[in-house]
Amino acid sequence: MSENPLLSVGNNSDLGKVEIAPEVIEVVAGIATSEVGGVFSMRGNFASGVAERFGKKSHGKGVKVELTEEGVIIDTFVVLDYGSSIPDVAQRIQTNVRQAIRNMTALERTEVNVHVVGVQTEHKEEDTTEVQE
C-alpha cells in the first residue's frame, strides 16, 4: 500500500512540525466549491455514490489534489444549474477555493482548475400532494 505524501506547512519550530494530508485539502476544496451559487453538485465516483446512499457524506467528492514542486494543483469537477453563467460560476469557485485553502492551510501557491462536467436542467421536487379519501 503506497503512503500518501503529506504537505508540510509553516516553519518547523521547537514545538514540532505541521503536515496536511491531501485528503484534507480535498475536503476543504469540496466544501468551498459546493458553497458557490450555481453549483448543483460535484461529480463523484461509484463508491462515493453508494456511500452517500447510506448516509455518509463525501465532502472530497469531485476534487482531485496534486502536490507539485510549484505548489498545489486542485481540479474540481462540477455539475452546474441550468441558466448559470459558466465563466462567472467558475471564477467564483476558483476564488472561493483559493481563499478557503489560504485561510485554513496558509498555502499561497494554489492552482484551481474547474471542469464543468454537466448541467442540471431540472430539479426534482418532492411530491407534496396529499391523498384525499
- Is residue 4 very low, low, confident or very high in pLDDT (cuts 50, 70, 90)? low
Contact 74, 101 (CB under 8 A): yes
- Dist. CA 33–CA 95, nearest whole Å: 9
Model-wide pTM > 0.85:
no
- Is residue 1 very low, low, confident or very high in pLDDT (cuts 50, 70, 90)? very low
CA 62 to chain centre: 6
Task: Report H helices in 7-106.
Answer: 22-34, 46-53, 86-105
76 pLDDT exceeds 90?
A: yes
Residues 6+ apart with CB under 8 A from 48: 58, 61
Contact 116, 87 (CB under 8 A): no
Single-letter amino acid, residue 39: V
Q: Which CATH number fits domain 18-120: 3.30.70.1350, 3.40.190.10, 3.40.50.80, 3.30.360.10?
A: 3.30.70.1350
Write out pLDDT tens, residues 99-128. Answer: 999 999 888 888 999 999 999 987 655 444
Write out pLDDT tens, residues 8-28. Answer: 776 667 788 888 888 999 999
